[in-house]
Amino acid sequence: MAEKLLTREKGFSEWYVDVVLKAKLADYSDVKGCMVIRPNGYAIWENMQRVLDKMFKDTGHRNAYFPLLIPESFLRKEAEHVEGFAPQLAVVTHAGGKKLEEAYVIRPTSETIINSMFSRWIQSYRDLPLLLNQWANVMRWEMRTRLFLRTTEFLWQEGHTCHETEKEAEDETLKMLEVYRAFAEDYMAMPVLAGRKSDSEKFAGALRTYSIEAMMQDKKALQAGTSHALGQNFAKAFNTQFQGRDGKQAYVWQSSWGVSTRLIGGLILTHSDDAGFVAPPKLAATHVVIIIIGRTPEERGPVREKAHALAADLKKAGLGVIVDDDESKGPGFKYFEYELQGVCLRVELGPKDLAKEQVVMVRRDTRQKDFVPISQAVAHAEGMLDQMQKDLFAKAKKLRDDSTFEVNSYDELKAKADAGFMLAHWCEDPACEARIKEETAATTRNRPFTLEQKPGACVACGKPSPGRIVFSKAY
């Protein structure tokens, strides 16, 4: 019999790691802080990529690829940027059997190397807007790592755009944040708050950073995507100028935005349960597993035939399907295994079902069990998957809404630090933010666009606050 999974109640962190390893989503490697993404996990990433890539292209972006290595001197051209990233860099000092004259760093993000190209490609306002995206690996040396959520190397996409005016760049920054929000909610079934980060939490080198923030099942926040208004900071550092409509030279205005394989961690922490991984149907690799039941070849033969016919129909409807005809393992073992791996629907098909021209269909998340005429199986599966997608979102949203509080004093904030999202007044002084982080481990997540802003008094110091912001412990 297979080994049972740890439970969330016994230890949420340990449960998370156990799901990732036992569902074969990822594994530890011999390289410090780097993981291996196994086929079950990579299939989720491929589905995320397919959906996001289409959203980027539909909003006018094209993909390109820039070098992995960045001359060390490039990072130093933007003071805040190098300060932010220097502690996390991996450095190539030798190559081709020789010490390099100038060291290279492995990209932690690509604003600098990309601007070195933008400055060559852009001459005139006619070259703008320039809307690029890159799918790539990046590296940030981390002290404490966690599979998917924080790894030394991760996979991501980074959008980089150039515009004539600050407004156009800001519009782009917010448009791509909205793309992330829609993706998180409509595909990942993960409700998020879209809003602006505080200055101390912004990207090193940006004017403003916006994020989407989700609540995990343990009520901690996960920053799931960021979009940055870079202003002209990198344009000035790399001299990315254009001749404007007025004939004058000007620096471009830029945005950059990214999501990463961290999203897979968010998906797991949002939906999975004590039986293992739960994948929202819109991103699942396998929607349906058909398990052939029968003790003898005489029993299994006709069942097998019907199972493959049904699988073909389900595939025609665009679903990912596995037929399990392995006689060396019993049905109970298989139910356990496919639940662990997050297959959305299990179809049980045996001689008794065949006689009744029906199948048994079981939903992964609720274990709802339907007896369905075989002739209606495809439509029924599609209906169950639609409902599962909606229910996963609703359940996650309920948890978040039920775990979001207005907090009106410092004592209350300390008391509720583990209870979820705290909406609290803050004077915008980094000192108060730092004190709260130090004493409660809660950080500012963002100022959600949907949160009405009314003046009040900072929970930490009592000075005037422009409106509430979300505080929470976070991954």
User: Which stretches of the chain bind its own copies, using CB under 8 A?
Assistant: 27, 29-31, 34-39, 42-43, 45-46, 62-71, 74, 86-97, 104, 106, 113, 116-117, 120-121, 132, 136-137, 139, 141-143, 153, 155
**Cis-peptide into 129, omega within 30 deg:** yes
d(CA 235, CA 181): 28
Q: Token match 């156009």: residue?
A: 168
Q: Is 448 in a helix, a strand, or coil?
A: strand
Burial of 1 (0-12, 13-18, 19+ CB in 10 A): exposed
What minimum distance in Å lies between the beta carbon of 321 and its own copies?
Answer: 14
Query: For residues 63 and 249, which CB has a smaller minimum distance to its own copies in the complex?
Result: 63
What minimum distance in Å lies between the beta carbon of 170 and its own copies?
Answer: 24
Which residues are registered as beta bridge partners of 35? Answer: 28
What minimum distance in Å lies between the beta carbon of 295 and its own copies?
Answer: 21
Q: Token match 């999202």: residue?
A: 421
Phi/psi-derived region of residue 441, left when phi > 0, alpha when psi is between -120 and 50, beta in every other case:
left
Contact between residue 269 and residue 218 where contact means Cβ atoms under 8 Å apart: yes
CA angle 38, 39, 42 (to 5 degrees): 85
d(CA 364, CA 464): 49
Query: For residues 326 and 439, which CB has a smaller minimum distance to its own copies in the complex?
Result: 326
Query: For residues 135 and 405, which CB has a smaller minimum distance to its own copies in the complex?
Result: 135
Query: For residues 123 and 366, which CB has a smaller minimum distance to its own copies in the complex?
Result: 123
Dihedral pair phi/psi, residue 313, rounded to 5°: -65, -40
| Of the candidates 267, 278, 309, the residue with the CA atom closest to the CA atom of residue 45 | 267
**Cis-peptide into 373, omega within 30 deg:** no
What minimum distance in Å lies between the beta carbon of 94 and its own copies?
Answer: 4
What minimum distance in Å lies between the beta carbon of 229 and its own copies?
Answer: 23
d(CA 211, CA 447): 9
Tell me the residue type at 254. Q
What minimum distance in Å lies between the beta carbon of 90 and its own copies?
Answer: 4
Query: For residues 36 and 79, which CB has a smaller minimum distance to its own copies in the complex?
Result: 36
Query: For residues 48 and 396, which CB has a smaller minimum distance to its own copies in the complex?
Result: 48
What minimum distance in Å lies between the beta carbon of 19 and its own copies?
Answer: 18
What minimum distance in Å lies between the beta carbon of 133 and its own copies?
Answer: 9
Question: Which structure tokens are listed for 137?
Answer: 């690996």
What minimum distance in Å lies between the beta carbon of 137 and its own copies?
Answer: 6
Query: For residues 56 and 471, which CB has a smaller minimum distance to its own copies in the complex?
Result: 56
Query: For residues 266 and 350, which CB has a smaller minimum distance to its own copies in the complex?
Result: 266
Query: For residues 37 and 374, which CB has a smaller minimum distance to its own copies in the complex?
Result: 37
Query: For residues 92 and 451, which CB has a smaller minimum distance to its own copies in the complex?
Result: 92
What minimum distance in Å lies between the beta carbon of 111 and its own copies?
Answer: 14
Tell me the residue type at 100. L
Q: Is 131 in a helix, a strand, or coil?
A: strand
d(CA 451, CA 467): 9
Find the helix packing angle between 262-271 and 12-22, rounded to 10°.
110
Contact between residue 20 and residue 147 where contact means Cβ atoms under 8 Å apart: yes
